[in-house]
Amino acid sequence: MAIARALTGSPQIIMADEPTAALDSHSGHLVMELLRGLAKEQGCTVLIVTHDPRILDLADRVAHMEDGVLK
Protein backbone atom coordinates (compact mmCIF):
# COMPACT_ATOMS: atom_id res chain seq x y z
CA MET A 1 0.00 0.00 0.00
CA ALA A 2 2.84 2.38 0.79
CA ILE A 3 4.27 1.88 -2.72
CA ALA A 4 0.93 2.69 -4.32
CA ARG A 5 0.59 5.80 -2.15
CA ALA A 6 4.12 6.91 -3.08
CA LEU A 7 3.26 6.73 -6.78
CA THR A 8 0.23 9.00 -6.53
CA GLY A 9 0.73 12.00 -8.77
CA SER A 10 3.67 10.57 -10.75
CA PRO A 11 6.47 11.89 -8.52
CA GLN A 12 9.95 12.65 -9.86
CA ILE A 13 11.55 11.00 -6.84
CA ILE A 14 10.40 8.26 -4.48
CA MET A 15 12.18 8.04 -1.12
CA ALA A 16 11.92 4.75 0.75
CA ASP A 17 13.24 4.22 4.27
CA GLU A 18 13.99 0.54 4.90
CA PRO A 19 11.38 -0.78 2.42
CA THR A 20 12.51 -4.39 2.92
CA ALA A 21 13.21 -4.36 6.67
CA ALA A 22 10.26 -6.56 7.69
CA LEU A 23 10.39 -8.85 4.66
CA ASP A 24 12.05 -12.16 3.89
CA SER A 25 14.73 -12.07 1.19
CA HIS A 26 12.41 -13.26 -1.61
CA SER A 27 9.71 -10.67 -0.83
CA GLY A 28 12.36 -7.98 -0.43
CA HIS A 29 13.71 -8.69 -3.89
CA LEU A 30 10.18 -8.59 -5.34
CA VAL A 31 9.58 -5.17 -3.79
CA MET A 32 12.91 -3.88 -5.09
CA GLU A 33 12.26 -5.24 -8.58
CA LEU A 34 8.86 -3.54 -8.53
CA LEU A 35 10.38 -0.21 -7.49
CA ARG A 36 13.11 -0.50 -10.09
CA GLY A 37 10.61 -1.32 -12.84
CA LEU A 38 8.37 1.57 -11.87
CA ALA A 39 11.32 3.94 -11.87
CA LYS A 40 12.23 2.93 -15.40
CA GLU A 41 8.64 3.03 -16.67
CA GLN A 42 7.83 6.41 -15.12
CA GLY A 43 11.28 7.97 -15.46
CA CYS A 44 11.57 8.77 -11.76
CA THR A 45 14.35 8.33 -9.24
CA VAL A 46 14.05 5.90 -6.34
CA LEU A 47 16.19 6.72 -3.30
CA ILE A 48 16.39 3.92 -0.74
CA VAL A 49 17.96 4.00 2.70
CA THR A 50 18.63 0.52 4.04
CA HIS A 51 20.74 -1.65 6.27
CA ASP A 52 19.80 -4.68 4.15
CA PRO A 53 22.83 -5.80 2.10
CA ARG A 54 20.69 -8.45 0.34
CA ILE A 55 19.19 -5.84 -1.99
CA LEU A 56 22.35 -3.99 -3.02
CA ASP A 57 22.65 -6.03 -6.21
CA LEU A 58 19.48 -4.36 -7.51
CA ALA A 59 20.80 -0.81 -7.10
CA ASP A 60 22.20 1.23 -9.97
CA ARG A 61 24.31 3.20 -7.53
CA VAL A 62 25.29 2.57 -3.89
CA ALA A 63 26.59 5.14 -1.41
CA HIS A 64 27.75 4.17 2.07
CA MET A 65 27.39 6.45 5.07
CA GLU A 66 29.36 5.99 8.24
CA ASP A 67 29.29 8.38 11.19
CA GLY A 68 27.38 10.91 9.06
CA VAL A 69 29.97 10.88 6.27
CA LEU A 70 29.29 9.56 2.77
CA LYS A 71 32.01 7.19 1.66
Least Cα distance to 16 among 64, 40, 39, 57 occurs for 39
- pLDDT, tens digit (0-9, with 9 covering 90-100), for 28-71: 889 898 888 888 888 889 999 999 888 888 888 999 999 999 98
**CATH tag, 2-70:** 3.40.50.300
Residues 6+ apart with CB under 8 A from 1: none
Q: How many CA atoms lie within 13 A of 9 on its CB side?
A: 6
H or E stretch at 13 = strand 13-17
Least Cα distance to 14 among 57, 48, 64 occurs for 48
Q: What angle do CA 21, 15, 48 make, to 5 degrees?
A: 50
- Mean pLDDT of the 19-26 span: 90
